[in-house]
Structures are given as C-alpha cells and as structure tokens.
Structure 1
Amino acid sequence: MRRPPARLTAGLLVLLTSCQQLNSAGPGRYAVTLGAARSIPVAVPYTGTWTVSGVPAWVSVSKTAGSGPISFTLTADRGAGTPLAADVDELRGTLTVTWTDPGGRTGTVRWPVSADEFKLTGRVKAGPAVQGTDVRVRAVPNQPVQAASHGMIVTYRAGAGLGAQGVTARPDRRAAATLSARGLAAGATTRLGERSAAVRVADVDGALRALRADPAVESVTVNRVLHTQATAPTLATPVEPTDQFAPLQWAYRLLGYPAVWRDMQDHPYTKAVTVAVVDSGIRYDHPDLQGRLWTPGEGALDVLEATVDTAGTGNGDGDGPDTDPTDPSTPGRTASSHGTHVTGIIAARWGDNGATAGCAACSRTGVIGATNTANVKVLPIRAIDAEGNTDIAQVAVAVRYAAGLPVTLDGTTYTNPHPAQVINLSLGGAIAAAEAQPMCDAVTEATSAGALVVAASGNGYGTTPYYPAACPDAVAVSSVTLSGGSAPRRATYSNAYPQVQLAAPGGTDYFQDATYYNGARWDPRGDGSSEPFVDAIISTGWDYTRNAPNYEVEAGTSQAAPQVSALAALLLSKGVTTDAASTLARLTGTATDLGAAGRDDVFGYGMINPVAALGAPPVSDTLGLRLQDALGRVFQPKLDAVGRFQAYLGDGTFRVIGGRDRNANGVYGEPGEPASEKTAVLGADSPAVDVGDLTP
C-alpha cells in the first residue's frame, strides 16, 4: 500500500513512527511545507550518511551533508522564486536526499517543498485631465453668458441681516426667496459660507438684475464653467535611427533616447565637450568613429611604459609613452578592443560611415552612439595594455593628463590641449583603499580641475568596493539589464556598495544568466539565420584575427559607465549644466529610483534618465504599473480592463507605482512623468494587502 508523504510544517515537526524510521531501507518521502513561515527546522532520525542537493533556487539549507540524523534548517527567499507575472499563489519544488546506509547501500529520494505566497491587490486608475493647477475659464465668443455658467454666486453684506419676509437667516435661502419673488425659477442652491451662496438659475441676466436690486447684496458674480486643460500631452515624433545594428541597441530605448534625439534635432546641442576615455586605446581606422575623436597631435596620448604587462613582453605597441593611443595588434591576439567598444557607446557615427569596398565585410552604417549630432568628441588615452592590464600609477597619470594637468613621462612633459569635462574609467579592481590612494588623489585633482570622473563599479558579483570607482570624488556606476517587466533589474555581476551613485544599462551576463527580453533578432553568422539578440551591449570593435573593424557584443559595468559619461556630455553640450558639480546634481536629481526607495547600494540614486535630465519632449502617453521589491526585483502582474491587479509575492517591502510612460521606454512613473506611489509590506503578519487606487 502506498503511503502519503509525511509533512514537515513550520508549526509542527512531524517525525516518523518506528516502522517508518530511516533505516537500511533508506529515507522515506516527505513533504516539507513552510506555509507562511520563512524558515522551518527539518529533523529526521537516520543512522547512515546523507547529502542534500537539487535545492530549488528560492530555497537554502543550513547544512547539506552529514551522518546520523538528518538535520538542517530550510529557509525560503520567495522573491527569488516568484515569476515575473506574480500569478502563482504557492511556490513548489523538490530537493534530493542521497543516502548511504551502514551496510554500504545507497539511494536517493525527492522531497517536495512548498511555501505560500502573499497577496497584493490594487488598481491603476487614469487620473483627471487637469494637470496641477492648470485650470482656465473657457471663453465662448459671441454667445450669451448663460452658455458658460452654472448660475450665480451671491454675497451679502456683513451685518445687513438675511432674515427677510420670514426667511431663515441663510444666504442660500435668502437668494432663492428673492428670485422667487421676482418670478424667477431658482434651481439647486449651495451655501458657500456665512454670507455667500451659489444658486442655479436658467435666466442669468434676470437673476443678476434681481439680486443686484437687493440692498443687502454686496456682490453678485456669474458662476463660470471651468474646463480641464492639457487632457493629453502634445507628443513629439521620436527619432529612430536607421543604422544596421541600431535595432539591437536596446539600451538607448530603455533610456528614452529617441525623445532626446528629437530634442537634439529641433534644438541643436552646440557647446563643445570633450570626453576622455581612459582605456586600452582606440582603433582610429574604425569607420564608425571617423570624425568623432581627437587624434594624435590633438591631445590623444599613450601613457604606458615600454613594459607593463604581466608577461614582461611590452605594452603591445613596442614602445613607451607617445601621442599615438592606437590599440595595437599583437601576435595571437584575439580579444577585441575594449577602448573602441566603450568609445562607440558614446560617439559612434550615425548613417553612412564611409566604409569602402576594401572592407567587404564592413557595415556601411553599423551602430549609433548616444551623442549623435551633439558637439562632443572623445579623447582616447591609452592606459591599458594589450593583455587588458594596467596599474595604479598608469591610471593616476592618465586621469591627471585627461583633466589638463601636466604629466612627465620618460622625461617628456605632456599637457592636454583639450582638457576633458568628463573622464570615463571603465576599469578597476578590488584593491584596498590605502593602496588606491594615489589613484584617488588623481581623481580629486581632476575634479578640482573641473572634470566629472565616471567609473565602473566592477563586475565582482558581490559587495566589494572596486577602485577607482569607490574613490570619494569618482561617480561609481552600477549595471542594470532588462527584466521583462516595466523596470530594469540589477545585472548579477554588478558590484553593490555604498559609493555607488548611479546605474545604467550594461547588459546581461550572457555566459551565466543570459536573457532575451529586448525583442530584437539578428543574423550572427551572416547566413540568413534569425536568432533572438541577447540583452547585452553591441558597439564598435576590432577583429584582430582579420585586422578589420567589426561590431561586438559585450556586457559589464564597463558598458554602463560610458552611458553616464555620454549623458553628462549632453547636459554640458546643451547648456543644461555648466560644470561638474551641476552636472552630477542633475544626473542624480533626475535618475529613476529603482529598488528600495531612496539611494541604495545597488542602484545608487537610480538609473540615469536622459529625457528628464535634458528636458526632452514626450513621445508617448500610456498608463501602467511598476512593481519592485526592496532588492530591485521586478514583477509585472496583469491589469484587467479597468486597471485592477492581483499579485502573489514573497515577504518584503514593495514599491507599487501607477504611472504614465511619456518617453516610450516602458517604465511607468519616472521623474517628469505623472505617478502615484504606495508602499506595501507583505509577510506572515500581513499576508494580504490592498493598496487601493493608484491615480497618477
């Protein structure tokens, strides 16, 4: 006879009877049920050895192996198991117990595990058409006043006395009696105060004459009809690039750049700005970067010593510091040009890039850069060798030089003729703060010289500060990627720590947790195939095997940092800001707050918001829901026909935002967009919460 599984619950630990105890026959099958609890102790008698494996992603166990009684604590992280749609009221999974009895016999058994989810309900409701106090009287030319009124508002004189002809001393009754005595039909009356009342009346002109004839009346005005204004924003037409790989560049859509490019086209960004990219150098021969770079002789510099790499074979170009920061070819090199990739995110050309017939495999249009037609140029500074390495001293020298401070290399003094207003550092390492001090000193000097120093927070999958991003005067940038919902999520590799100030799209780790939410398809092999494009960043690259330009896909905080640098440059080029301090304040003040409310270690002040920062025009106007927990995980329950939603979630604190999307990026209620936000706390003590109406 088949026995039902024993149940281990949070409130009661059920042990087997003697005939069911774990013995030479191996452990039995159990159902471990947490219910609403977060943790449950598991204790089962046994005399052999055992291991626990195959644990669901939303479950952790305190001990995974032992001998004798099976004993561990099982803890649920419900948020990790909640699906995007938040439509499952109970999480279910199994864990595997592998056993070996004293006689050497082995076996496995699977134990079901379940946990209740908690319920969140509410409604996203379209708000009134009036925006703020934007109300005006509608003029009705060439028509009598009755067509734009709801009657009269009458105010009686103080001390005049309202009791006349037996009427109680109330202004609404006095007014109605006066009109009735003149043969005028009075409709509904509303008392507005001790001496004032509104009276509905059809004959407005007659009522004016009758009330003004009463000596007790101080004033009579028409109760004008007011109408809502700006029932919908005037929408601009977004600018959509036509370059071959632009449809794959989802990060610009997430940041709302089609609206920014419309603003740029209608109101050119003309102030000259230099962005220094301190990196592995550049490929000047990439067609998509022509005309967007300061060249040798215009301030570009290679600061590397003749030998800096770990192999001791030189820095890759066979010489020391000079004015040519080309990222060189080396024997057997296969890695792409990191500096070329970072630069393309900021400044790749739009449209026909002039690729010639001599490069048959080259795209004639390629990718696009965020700065488009703005008067922005990149200053390449080579500080990373052909192996991808640098050191503290080389970075410190490069930062000082980028900011316009003189540096002396091998006896030659160099001064940058185009000091950078923005310095991008897509590099770093997990070094001690004391060791990083010389680099941090350089960042401080560059900041004092007027530069905004932007640095990648690091790809360490943890919370260890990376330098130079963690330097006090640097702007540390973490990475986000698409979630499938109406907000991005933290990229798993992105380091989180207190110095993080901003987040930007850096893409998914396509080796470990690749996602394909951007909806684009491509032909990676050029054979006519069509495959989903991973949520990573495509930009300019270099094929060192063929020694030819190409376009490569990468992901990391190295790709997030130049998104911030590009926006900083645009703020300065448009003239929204004038220096590093005002630029940083604008970046943080307009960022889209993600995860926990306020600044946090994961996203800093939030994801950069180019549309809000630059004041670009709205290009869409849709209503929707944004739902995140304090860790930044995103959930997207469905809205029914009238905007109601029902979500089954784990325990924790949730930000529930009903808002409008005005920049067509699918994120509702960002800065500059109408929003209504509420907070919900779910758990065993509050298993169901209704947040009511969210009316942006």
Structure 2
Amino acid sequence: MTAAVRRWCVGLLAIVLVLLGTARPASADAVRDRQWHLAALGIAQAQHISQGEGVVVGLPDTGVDIKHAELSGAVLPGKGFGEGNDNDGRADYVGHGTSMAGLIAGRGLPNGGGALGIAPKAMILPMKTLKSDDGLGVPALLAAGIDWAVEHSAKVICIAAVTGEDAAVRSAVERALRADVVVVAGVGNTPDNTTVGFPARLPGVLAVGGSDRDGGHAPISATGPEMMVAAPAVDIVSTRPNGRYAAASGTSDATAIVSGVVALVRAKYPGLSAAEVVHRITATATDKGKPGRDDEFGFGIVNPVAALTADVAPASSSAGVAEVAASPSAAGVSAAGGSSAAVVVAGGVGVVLVLVAVGVWAIRRRARE
C-alpha cells in the first residue's frame, strides 16, 4: 500500500468515526435540511406571523402514528371508517396519513431537527378512510369522514386522495363548504390522472397541483382548468410510522402543504369566511407559467408570507371559494392521487456504509495503478 493510499484510508476512517459518533443528531438535522420546501415557501418568516393556533385540520387518510416524536400532542382522537377500522384514527399501518400529518402540523424536535410542518400549532383530526398509500379512496368512507370532520369542528379538510365520481362525496363536500370549511384536495398524479381528479374538480374545492424544486410544473401532477394553486410536490420529506422519515413525490404532499398554509391563514384571520380564505390564497399566489391562471399552476405557487400579510381586496360576488368552476368534461376519473416513489431517509449508518464501499473501491483501484 502506497503512502498516498494510507493517508487516504486514515482520512476515510476519521470521517467514519465522526459519523458513527454523531449518527442520531446528524440524522435529525438531515431531515430538516432535506425539507427544501420550507425555505422555498418562506415558512420560517410565515411562522413568525402565524403557526396555525386553534385550527383543527381534518385528515381523511390512513390514520396517523401518534408515537412519532414530531406528532406528539398534535393529533386529536379521531375515528376509523370501514370494516376493521374500529380505532380512533391514531394508528397508521400504511404511512400515508402520518406523512400528511407531519407536513401539515409536525412539531419538529427539541434540538431543532426533525420534520417541521407548515402549521406546527394546528391540530390534526385523523379519520381512517384509506387502506393503502396509493391515494385511491373509497367514496363512501371518504364521504363519511368529511361529514364527521365537519361535525367535530374541523375548519380545514385535507383530502390527499382521489376517488371515482360519487354523489355521496359531492354532497359531503357541499355540506362542508356550507359549514364554512375550506376543503383542500389534490388534483392527482400522472400517468393515472391526466386531468384534475375527483373531488378536487368540484366547485369550491381548493384544487392543488404540484411544482418542482425550480418552481416549474412537476411532471407528476395532473393539470386542468379546475387547478387553483400549486405547491412543492417533488422529493418532499416527512414523517412515517415507527419513528421513520421518507421522501416522496406527488400531489398528496402538495395538498398537505397547502392545507397547512390554510391553517396559518385561518389562525391569523379568524373572521374570514372559507371563501375569503381561498380568495386570499389564490390572490397572493406567485404567478408561474402563462400569465394569469393556467392549467399547470392555477393562480400560481402558494405564497404563505403574502397570504398572511398582503392587503387583499375582498372577493367579488363572482370570486371567492368558487373562483374556478368545475368542468363536467373531467368526470369519470378514478385513480391514485397520493404520494409516490417513497424513499426512506438514511441515517448516519447508511452514509457510513456508502463511504466505506466507495473507500474499498478506491483502494483497490489505486492498488492496481
């Protein structure tokens, strides 16, 4: 072994020992560092203005794992719907709901690391209505969950799923809107959804599509005339069951992020109606794509700071919660709208293994030279 190779090995060993000695803190910090959407949306500044205090966000999904540290104290007793769902929604054997909850209201960790939600003082009301993380909802269960959330004081409902066209869901959404609840729903993921899915395309629903790291349209996001706003939907890191974290891409993540922004606005402006909250969010969105509203971004990428601080004129009689009418041509879509491509975030040990593997390869190569 040459002197140069020996020096390289000593350096690699030093890096490995440092990583092994600091694996837990580095992992927690890495989670926050990978939540790129926080900086992209100016969430630190927004949270100086509002953190969602007093706002209950209904989450019809796969349940929420309340044992996750960042969700401790953030989840109210909820309800399970459907056969075998006899718990109170505070368990999650799939992971999708726990991820959405973390994006909406994750508290972070005491050391400043871990997953942080958009509205860390909001409360999650979990309804177990999904049985898989593909985002494909059972209409009857979703309708029952929406009604239950309204009955239990939710002011925001985050529907990070799509279903087939269904009269019960339509009626439940209409009842929620009449009860002054902001209903947020994902438009769906390509290739399964190429047009805005149901119930996102219903009049009055805040339909959310996806943007990428550069502020462009996320290819995974469906598009259409019912699109209202976009939010980050690529490589979004959040909580998963059993203390884990994961990165995923999809309009589910964007929907949870926008639901958190709605909670910030409802806490800051408790006197605003649901229609005015939606108007404030669409009126202050950062315009992208073609000037004005377009099928990829709607009114633009959600801008939390502007939504909390801008001087916004009241919605006209033709605006507000129904700023974009639903298109009947989009009927009949029934496909997944949840997150896809989940990847578990590696901790320090995983990084060490990669470095060791690279080191062995390099040593062998140098030895041959």
1:597-608 residue pairs with structure 2 within 5 A? 597-608=291-302
Higher fraction of helix:
2
Decide whether the 8 Å contact of 1:271 with 1:575 is kept in 2: no
1:303 to 53, 78, 81: 81
Normalised TM-score (structure 2): 0.72
Q: Alpha carbon RMSD of aligned pairs, Å?
A: 2.1
Equivalent residues in 2 for 1:44-443, closer than 5 Å = 243-264=29-50, 271-295=53-77, 300-304=78-82, 306=83, 319-328=84-93, 336-352=94-110, 365-372=113-120, 374=121, 376-386=122-132, 388=134, 389-404=136-151, 416=152, 419-429=153-163, 431=164, 435-443=165-173
Determine the structure 1 residue equivalent to 2:321. Answer: none
User: Which one of the candidate residues 265, 275, 288 is aligned to 1:581?
Assistant: 275
Which residue, 191, 198, 204 being the options, matches 1:467?
198
Query: What is the count of residue pairs matched by the alignment?
Result: 281
Report the Cα offset of residue 287 of structure 1.
1.3
Amino acid at match of 2:98: T
**What's the offset of the Cα at 1:460?**
2.1
Secondary structure at the counterpart of residue 327 of structure 1? coil
3-state SS of paired residue (1:585): helix
Distance of 1:608 and 1:578 partners within structure 2: 18
Please list every run of 5 or more consecutive structure 1 residues that lacks an aligned counterpart in the other structure: 1-241, 307-318, 329-335, 354-363, 405-415, 508-535, 543-547, 617-696
Q: Partner amino acid for 1:541?
A: R
More strand, by proportion: 1
> How far apart, CA to CA, are the structure 2 residues paired with 1:453 and 1:288?
25
* Structure whose alpha-carbon radius of gyration is higher: 1
1: CA distance, partners of 2:69 / 2:190: 34
1:557 CA displacement: 0.1
CA distance in 2, matches of 1:322, 1:366: 27
Instruction: Name which structure has the greater RCO, CA cutoff 8 Å, separation 6+.
Output: 2
Structure 2 residue identity aligned to 1:539: S
Amino acid at match of 2:91: T
1:243 Cα deviation from its structure 2 partner? 4.6
User: Secondary structure at 1:403's aligned position in 2?
Assistant: helix
4+ residue segments displaced more than 3 Å: 386-390
Q: CA deviation at 1:390?
A: 3.4
Shift of residue 463 of structure 1? 3.5
Query: Could you tell me which residue of structure 2 aligns to residue 104 of structure 1?
Result: none
Whether the 8 Å CA contact 2:52–2:263 is kept in 1: the answer is: no
Query: What secondary structure is seen at the aligned counterpart in 2 of 1:441?
Result: helix
* Contact 1:244/1:367 (8 A) holds in 2: no
The aligned residue for residue 137 of structure 1 is: none
Q: Distance in 1 between matches of 2:204 and 2:46?
A: 28
Q: Render the CA deviation track for 1:297-335: whole Å, top value 9, x for unaligned.
A: xxx11112x1xxxxxxxxxxxx3444344223xxxxxxx
The yes-or-no answer on 1:492 pairing with 2:186 is: no
Q: Are 1:577 and 1:583, in contact at CA under 8 Å, matched by a contact in 2?
A: no
Q: Could you tell me how far apart the structure 1 residues matched to 2:119 and 2:220 are?
A: 27
Contiguous gaps of at least 5 residues in structure 2: 1-27, 311-369
Conservation of the 8 A alpha-carbon contact between 2:100 and 2:253: yes
Mapped contact 2:55–2:267 kept (Cα < 8 A): yes
Distance 2:203 2:36 in 1: 32
Percent identity, aligned pairs only, is 32
The match for 2:236 among 523, 530, 537 is 537
CA distance 1:579–1:321, shift in 2 (3 Å): farther
Amino acid at match of 2:212: T
Q: Indicate if the aligned counterparts of 1:243 and 1:350 stay in contact, CA closer than 8 A.
A: no
Distance 2:186 2:224 in 1: 12
Partner of 2:188: 458
Alpha-carbon shift at residue 436 of structure 1 (Å)? 2.5
Give the C-alpha shift of residue 247 in structure 1: 1.3
> Counterparts of 1:501 and 1:577 in 2: how far apart (Å)?
23
What is the TM-score with the length of structure 1 in the denominator?
Answer: 0.39
Q: What whole-Å deviation, never above 9, does each CA across 1:333-386 have from its counterpart, x for those lacking one?
A: xxx500000110011112328xxxxxxxxxx942111113x4x11111110014
Are the structure 2 counterparts of residues 577 and 350 from structure 1 closer, same or farther at C-alpha, using a change threshold of 3 Å?
Answer: farther
SS at match of 2:285: coil
Counterpart CA distance in 2 for 1:427 and 1:243 is: 30
